[in-house]
Structure formats: structure tokens, C-alpha cells
Structure 1
């Protein structure tokens, strides 16, 4: 993804003759050399890669500004206090066996950050991002794009395998393109120690304490490892062990390797003498800047601020703010896209959302890579899915593996379509929205104008009635020991989505027991809700793979419900004429975005009196897989091998549905 270059004319700059004369005088090589010496960003501009210390000097160049910090924290407080549905329960979560949940009082954490004097703007911005990350809800995120432009790589990329009945850390591949000292002969070597700690202990500790994607440790463990041939291209990058978009904590790591003797197999465990490699972090450098000023203007300077990169930030909503929000929302925030990962399953003739694979005459795989279906692709998505199932049926496929691994979710109605293709319909899981007087004004205006996403919700008790009463007639539940107001139970209308679908597949061939969910736990949001409904309502067994040996893992992560991003929310407010509402969150004073969960979803509830009980929330439930498979030396580098291993499990009946633990 490329960030659109800034246009000086569109932001009100006037290039005078004096400025042009100055630019001409300062374009000499001697001036450029002097500039680079004093300007750490100029020193690495136009380079392909930079050292850790060079990149750090550029990112730390921008001074901390209290006004910017206060405005940033004010917006985050507004969203988390008023709109984030799990704000109260996050501070005092329930104790759920199988989940690793750390209490996080967001408001208190923001107070601590606000009262600290930071050495740089980068340090402040990363502290805010880390605080929200600690909640372990991947929907809740703060992304300061100013400090997410570099990509930091470890030249040694790791995965985790079962080898001779032991869980080991393994060199999956090396990136000698960014560090020529990396040797391809290291691939397949076991990493026994990292920074003088046993490698497994270090990786598990990192997964538990530095990954905010899930409340399941196994999912976090899978997330930080980088299996080369099984990567659908999530560009979160925040927590991977060897790939960051943020500045790493240290420059060099010591890897102790032991490699197999030439001609031996992993099962022989016959190794050469161990050796230690000191591996640096290497930064890929964005290309859209020439010095610190242009870096700031290209990646940091918000239209909702003054034009001076280092002066006082005076907020004002302008036409440029709207354009900037649109670019951010459409994903045009990063100058660099990640390279070095490939997966044959990630591209297909069926489109980028799914792929149908027939392993043999009995078993087929549907690799569903994303539910983030663009509006113009909805009809094609549905047509491809129906055509794939019709082909499976025609060719006599008896069992179907639904591979939902590394699927970050997306369009809830796309998920609904897939469930209905197999089971005609599914009871909608109870859901509700946290109440605030401000959001009440937003929803009432949305219904008046019949526009924005907020018009798509209906009362579950009166689904055909288009009225905001579901939100204004509140109920109170206990969350984290506090009384919190919520809406009535609601359902999401998919009428507009279904209008573009020409045909819904009518399944008469496959039962729930003929399907299998395959997941590494990184099945989030819409994907998690789809998986949960298939597993809990239609008794489709789930196979979890990867993770830490010896403990049960979840088949889905962050199934909290539906999320919103500030960029999209602010555009909705503007379209409704509410951007200047006194309680509306302001755009960030630096180019940034945040996301949060606004609609929570419950597990199936037989007794309607249990509605509102926090123990039934999907986000705070343990959803265990029925059986388990691990990466090994064969399947880690070939997803087709993995699928064939799973097919054998299915055909042999080795993944029976287990009794639900809740």
C-alpha cells in the first residue's frame, strides 16, 4: 500500500520566489551532506535498508509535544469510555479457565501516560499503542502511522515444530536480502537459546506478554511465529517475533543454533557443534521522504492540525481532514508493504477471498482467506462460493475442510452467507451495543436520514421495524462489577448485501459432521463468530493446529462482535452533520487511526433471562478445539501436506465432537 503524496497546493502552502531561491541554493551536494549530518532522517533517505540505530535516530528525532499528547489522549478517552463495549469488563475481567486475561484499566493507564514526560513523540505514541494492546482484544488498537512506516526484520525468521515428540524453535527461512551475512544453510537448524534463555521459554514468554491478538496463549504463540508457506498476509506486524512495524526493544539478539550433520534427517538428531549468531534488526526504509521535515509531512502531519511540523498543533476540521480520513480508512497509510512471505494458498483463480481444492475423490478444502469483501465484489464472492460447492457436489466430495486459519474477519454478512449456504439459516446470536447519549444522537440521526451503518440494525424482537427504539430503550447489566447501560438485543440487517446475490446454494448433501473447521486460532472477528456458530449451533467439529504442546487451544480469537475504526466513524459523523457535536471524538492531531469493539456477541443462550450475563460473552469464553495437530518438518513448508494430514484425520474419524465445556 502506498500513502498518497502530500500536495502542497491543496494544503494551502504558497511557494514564493524567495523559497524557490532557497531551495535552489540548498540543493548542492555539500549542503545535502551537511543536512544529513544534522538530520538523522536525511541521512537514510532514499536508502533501501538502514541499521537499527539509524532508523531509531530518525524516529526519535521528533520531540514530544504536550498539546499533541493531550489531544490524542482526549480522543482515545472519548472512544474507550463512551463507545468501547468492553471498557469496564477489561478493568475487572472474569477468571476463565483456558484463557490468559490480564486486567487493564484503560482510563488509569491513560492517566499514567499523560502524567509522564516522554523523551520523544515516538515513545509516547508507542506507549499508547501498547496500553490498548494489553487488553488482548485485537479489535482495540491504536496505530500511529507516523511510526509505522519502517519495517523491522530479523534476518532469521522462526517457526515452531514438533520434532521427535519435542516442541522446538526452528529456522524457517533467512532474509539474506536485507542481511548478507545470513546463510541459507541455517534453514532447518534448531534454535536452542535466544539471548541466553532457552528458546521455547523466551518465545512463550514473548507470546504471553507482548502479543495482544488473543486471550488464548496458543493463538498468540502461533501469531508471533512466521511460518513461510502458511501466511495469508495479515499486515498487523505489531507483535511478530521477527517482523515489527514499531521500533524493537533492542538492536541485537543472540541465537544459539544447532544444525543437523550433512546427510542426516531431523529424526536422527545428529548435530554439528552448536554455534551462536548475533543477529541485528534491519529496517526497510520508506521512500517518500528526503529529510525530517518531509518525513513529518508525508507520514505524520495531520490535516487536523497546523501546517508546522514542530510548532503548536491547532486543531481545525478542514476539507483536507475528510480526504485524509478517507485515505486512512481505505488502507493508504503505509509507504511499505511487507515482503518475504509467500503462500500458494493466498492467491487463487477464484479470487483473493477463497479457494476450493479437491484433495482426492472424497475430501475437499475451502480455504477462506478473508471476509473483508469489497462492496463491488459481493455478488462475485457469493457466486464463487456457490459455484465451488456445486462443483464439490458434482464431483462427489464427501467431506469438507473449512480452513479458516489466519482469517482476520471482515463483513459479517459475508459470514452469514457462508453459514446459510450449508445450513439454510442459523439463529442470530444475541448482541447489543453500549449506551451513550452521544451515540443515541448519532443513531437517531441515522434513522432519520436512513444512512450510514447505524441504520442497518434492528431490534431482535421486531426485526422488520426500522426504529432506533432498540437503542433508546436501555437495559442495565453488571460489567466488571459496574452497572453499565446497553441497548436492547439487536440483529444486523443483511438486506442490502443479499440484494446483490443471484443464488443461494441449497445444501442437501453435507451434515455438520461432514465438515471440519481447521484453525490455527487466528480466526478473528467475523471469522470467529462464523466458526463459533458452526461449532456451537451446527456441531461442526474444530481442529486446532500449532501452538504450545500440552494444553488445549481455541479455534477462534477476538470473537467479541463488531468493530469500528475512528476514520470510518468520523466520516459517518460528517455525513450526518454531527462532526461538531460537543461529545464527538476529534480526529487525531497526528496521522493515526484506532479501532474498537462496539457490538458484543453472546454464546447461544437458552434462557433469555441470562441475557447480559458477562459469563456468556463470546469474547470472554473459552472455545476449545475438539482435536489437535502440530506443525512438523513436512507440513510447515507445504500447506498441501497439512491439508492431506487433516484429510486423513477426517476420514479416519479421529476428530469427534467433544462435549461443550460451557
Structure 2
């Protein structure tokens, strides 16, 4: 029988055709308990919370499969996850997260297998263990349980106000406005009842609104080790490109909420004070057919021995990119009233006398490198004196694009990227030696021929040079190689700007390859940085999870020649496979970037105007760049 499976996230669709060997069994308990949820989905209606909860908790635990899943997860994380040991350490000052002993946590999980422990309980507990790492590259997703969308129909934002004594105050309120993000004041937009727009939220669930959002960001969001960045992600972004999967996570979730509804105490200009109780609108992202297959049919089928890797677009892993994994939705466009549009969404000139230009970079994809070069050439033609790089809401992308951008702006400087390394296992050493012996140019984690040694970009002289002498790690460290097309684009490029002419502004969510760009420009070229939003009076990171590179188990297993090829069952694992390091002016390798707190040089906060119009933030950045104001 041929099963056609459609996966979607933010309007990205992936169709997989898989041949399955089917054994027909009697209807499962899960199928019966899910009848009400199934009926709602067939009618394209929202599922009632209690109906879905009954459905998800009805699947019995297969203790043997759960044991095999834990074994496989532990194997891949202990063998390839570069932060496996470092995660056990206390966080550096500035970061807020728990230390995690993955082996102990996973071993403790086995002790929970009992008669009243459901498959959903197991999947949730496993997922929460991985989430404690606060590593955006590393997660586990169940194809059934994380396929649902839980939407409050509200978008919250937050602001910092200045009182009569010119003291900044972070409101304990969260408001509802039309499109924008901030630090703690309100409702961004209510898609159910527009009369709630611009109302302020005083309490959520009987607690002060600000504290509720802060607690949620601290305990639930995984994508940054910096609480202020996670706080921003709990709310809605103030940029024109809307990454719904990352932001407004308090009101738009993919894990079953603890309660069927949330009560908001609001105060509104026209309606006064009142309590709003909002139930979750619950849908399956890809519709009934995919729900039936992912959640029901798999309990009635035995697949062939070949593992079928079914990844949502959120979890589809490519070797050096997050850009294919997370897509940007242009569902709404912010007002850009204080800048001239050169290229919508990417290039602007401020409408003042500063001669400042703005380059908005929303992702790192090789197909966009021509546009990047064009943007800076256009700014040069326009006589732009200063450049603002807006890297907010950037989920990352291809590593070589990070090299390309730094080389584009600072072509004479070497090295042009941070050094990295990977874990070396006994069974990977023969592969490394064979790659070197055969002079293969295959793109592979363990091929020394496709990397350059740090710091001068030299080719490795031998396989042992690549392997090095450090226990379990490569020793000489290595750099990615620019492609021939990228090298051609960089030929005969010359720009007039120095480090003093450029400033970076982000809301903290400049992730993966974007983090490597912003950190490299900041650390190596002394480009100043601005972080926007977060918690008042706390320093804040301008980037997040620069780890190095993301991978899936089957990809690494294939590359390493591992006998264990994937995690069994419906759980899709991803993890950081390469570790990136900072270095000093003498090219001496120092800190691990993922575990180094790098706060921005300057800080701006959202208010009710710049939350809706980012060009106001650009003007503030320009004043800092021109040294008109101190940060």
C-alpha cells in the first residue's frame, strides 16, 4: 500500500511516498479514544481540549520500544552531541538554565515505565529532558504529539515606559496591539475579538502578567540560554517577517497546554476592566489524513525493517542549515514610515541627514548571496556613510553564507570564521583515513579534504593532522571552505566602510549561522551591537545558539558508519554535531561560543511606537552609530 504523507509548517510542504508492509489489527484503544478528535478534524473544526487530552493519553506505552528509544537517544547524544559533557556544568554568569546530566536523566526516565505510564507521558518527559539544554539545535519531536497547533488567537507584546522622573519602568502589563513585539505591556492583536486590540493585560491566570510570561519563558522555551531572549520569544516579533513557530510561544503552542483555557484580566480604553477567558483553538497542522496516519494508523501497522524518517518541516535537518528547517512567513508587514524602501524587506535608507542605510538579513541561504552583494553595492552607490545590520528574527542557514558575508565586508582579514571541531569515535577514524587516502571531495563530516585548518586556512597534511591528539575531539580545528561560486562573487569587491561604520541590531533571536555572523563581526572586527527588548535592566545577548552545526541521527550514522542508524518509533531527534570556538588576536582558541555569555554593547527597549515600526529603532541605532547618544 502506498501512503502519501504531506508535511507542512508555515506554508512549506514536503511530500513523501513510502511503501509500507501492513498487518491489519483490531482497532486500538487509541483509535477509539480519539474518535471525537477525529470527528472534529474531519469536519475541519477545532478539537475540544478534553477530547484531545483523552486521545493523547490513551496510547499505551510499549516498554520495549520506549527502552530502545532511550537507548538510541543516549547513544547518539553521547557519541556525537558535542555538548554532552559540558551540559553537566553550571551555567556561566548571565545565562539562565539548569545543568543537565543527560545520561542520568535518561536512565531515570526508564524507571518511570509502569502500568499507568502512557506513551504520551514518555514522549513528553523525553522531550522535556532535551529541552532543558536550552540548545535550539537540539530537540526531539514526536510526529503525532507535536503535530497539533494550540492557538489563543492573541498576540502579546511588552514595552518599557519612562516616568516623569525619566526613570525607565517595565510595565507589569501585557497589551494587545496590531503587529509588534516588545518587553511587557500588552495584546498585540486579537484575531477573535478586535475590540480587545490595544487593551492591557494586568493578570494572566490570576498572576501578574509580566511574571507569568517570565516564568513561561524560563521554564518552557528551549531556544536560548538567555532568559531575556526567551522572554522576547514568548511574545510577538516587531519585525515585518513573522516567524510564528519561534515567537508568541505563550499564545501559540505545539505541546498540549496544562489547562483548557487561560483567563486574562484586561483593562481597555473603551471597555474598562474585565476578565477574558480564552479557550485554545486546536487543530492538526496538516489535516485529518496526516493525523490519522501519524497518530492512529501507526498503531495498527507494522512497517518494513527500514526506518521511515518522517520529519515535519520544523525538524527536517540538512547538513549545514536551519534555513530549510524554519521558514519565514510574510503574513503581515510592519509599518516602515521613517525609511525609504530600496528593496522591500531587505534594504532601506533612513529618511534623515545621517546617510545611514539598513540591511535586513532574515536568513542565510546561498541563493541570497547575490542579493547581499547587491545590497551593499547599492548602499555604496547612494553614498551611504553608516550601515545598520538588522539581524532580528533570523533563524540561521548555511554556514558558508556566514563566511561569505564576513569576507564581503572585510575581505582582507583572515581567518574569516570561527574554528570548529567534532567528536571522534574509534569507528570514524578509518573513515577519515580512507577519505584522505583516496583524496575524496565528498561532502562529509569526517572528510579532512573538504575543510581547512585553523587559523590560516591551510589544507590538512594528513589524516592524523585532522584527527589530532585531543581525546574524542579533532585537534587542529577546522574551517568551512567557500564554494567556487561564492569566491567568484567576492572577486573585485571593495567597500569603503570600516568596523566603526557598522552596527548590528537584533532582538536576540539571531540564531545558528546568524549567531556566527554577529559574533564574528563583534568579537573579531569590533562591530558594535544593540539588543532590543528582553527584561528591564538585565544585560541581553544579541545572538543565540551559535553551536556550530545541526544534524539528524540517520545523517550522522550514515557519515560515521554507525551500526545504529536512527531513533526508533515516531520520535525525530536533532542535535549539535559541531562546536564553535572564539579566538583572540593571536589566533589562540579560547571559549566555546555556545556556553559564552556575550551581551550586546548597547540596549534599546520597545515602546508602543517602535514595536509597530522598526524604522524607529533603526533611527535610534543610527544615533548610537554616529555617537550622538551613548548606550
Q: How has the CA–CA distance of structure 1 residues 504 and 520 changed in structure 2, closer, same or farther, with 3 Å as cutoff?
A: farther
Corresponding residue for residue 473 of structure 1: 468
1:431 is aligned to 2:420: yes
Query: 2:396–2:510: 8 Å Cα contact kept in structure 1?
Result: yes
Corresponding residue for residue 165 of structure 2: none
**TM-superposed deviation, 1:541:** 0.4
Question: Match of 1:598, SS?
Answer: strand
Query: 1:218–1:553: 8 Å Cα contact kept in structure 2?
Result: yes
Query: 1:174–1:183: 8 Å Cα contact kept in structure 2?
Result: no
1:450 is aligned to 2:441: yes
- In 1, the alpha carbon distance for the partners of 2:300 and 2:463 equals 45
Corresponding residue for residue 4 of structure 2: none
Corresponding residue for residue 182 of structure 2: none
What TM-score do you get using the length of structure 2 for normalisation? 0.82
Q: How has the CA–CA distance of structure 1 residues 191 and 14 changed in structure 2, closer, same or farther, with 3 Å as cutoff?
A: closer
Corresponding residue for residue 51 of structure 2: 54
Deviations along 1:508-552, one digit per CA (max 9) or x if unpaired, are 411111101001111112111111111111111001100001111
Q: How has the CA–CA distance of structure 1 residues 61 and 533 changed in structure 2, closer, same or farther, with 3 Å as cutoff?
A: same
Residues 532-541 or 354-363, more deviating: 354-363
**TM-superposed deviation, 1:41:** 3.7
- In 1, the alpha carbon distance for the partners of 2:253 and 2:21 equals 35
Query: 2:315–2:574: 8 Å Cα contact kept in structure 1?
Result: no
Q: How has the CA–CA distance of structure 1 residues 288 and 442 changed in structure 2, closer, same or farther, with 3 Å as cutoff?
A: farther
Query: 2:97–2:132: 8 Å Cα contact kept in structure 1?
Result: no
Corresponding residue for residue 509 of structure 1: 496
Corresponding residue for residue 304 of structure 1: none
Question: Match of 1:406, SS?
Answer: coil
**TM-superposed deviation, 1:646:** 2.7
1:489 is aligned to 2:498: no
Residues 592-601 or 181-190, more deviating: 181-190
Query: 2:143–2:311: 8 Å Cα contact kept in structure 1?
Result: no
Query: 1:523–1:557: 8 Å Cα contact kept in structure 2?
Result: yes
| Structure 2 unmatched runs, 5+ | 1-6, 163-167, 180-188
What TM-score do you get using the length of structure 1 for normalisation? 0.79
**TM-superposed deviation, 1:5:** 6.3
**TM-superposed deviation, 1:499:** 5.5
Question: Match of 1:309, SS?
Answer: helix
Which of the numbers 185, 196, 199 marks the counterpart of 1:189?
A: 199
Deviations along 1:413-461, one digit per CA (max 9) or x if unpaired, are 1011111111113424332222222333444455544323322233337
Q: How has the CA–CA distance of structure 1 residues 422 and 229 changed in structure 2, closer, same or farther, with 3 Å as cutoff?
A: closer
Query: 1:383–1:501: 8 Å Cα contact kept in structure 2?
Result: no
1:635 is aligned to 2:631: no
Which of the numbers 551, 562, 565 marks the counterpart of 1:564?
A: 551
Corresponding residue for residue 183 of structure 2: none
Question: Match of 1:453, SS?
Answer: coil
Corresponding residue for residue 42 of structure 1: 38
Which of the numbers 347, 353, 364 marks the counterpart of 1:356?
A: 347
Query: 1:136–1:215: 8 Å Cα contact kept in structure 2?
Result: yes
1:216 is aligned to 2:213: no
- In 1, the alpha carbon distance for the partners of 2:515 and 2:495 equals 25
- Equivalences, count: 583
1:203 is aligned to 2:200: no
1:167 is aligned to 2:170: yes
- In 2, the alpha carbon distance for the partners of 1:115 and 1:150 equals 28
Which of the numbers 97, 100, 111 marks the counterpart of 1:104?
A: 100
- In 2, the alpha carbon distance for the partners of 1:174 and 1:37 equals 40
Question: Match of 1:366, SS?
Answer: strand
1:83 is aligned to 2:80: yes
**TM-superposed deviation, 1:138:** 1.1
Corresponding residue for residue 546 of structure 1: 533
Query: 1:259–1:274: 8 Å Cα contact kept in structure 2?
Result: yes
- In 1, the alpha carbon distance for the partners of 2:369 and 2:342 equals 11
Query: 2:82–2:577: 8 Å Cα contact kept in structure 1?
Result: yes
Corresponding residue for residue 291 of structure 2: 295
Corresponding residue for residue 625 of structure 2: 650
- In 2, the alpha carbon distance for the partners of 1:497 and 1:133 equals 38
Which of the numbers 60, 63, 67 marks the counterpart of 1:63?
A: 60
Residues 440-449 or 125-134, more deviating: 440-449
Deviations along 1:126-148, one digit per CA (max 9) or x if unpaired, are 21111111011111111222212
Which of the numbers 252, 255, 263 marks the counterpart of 1:254?
A: 263
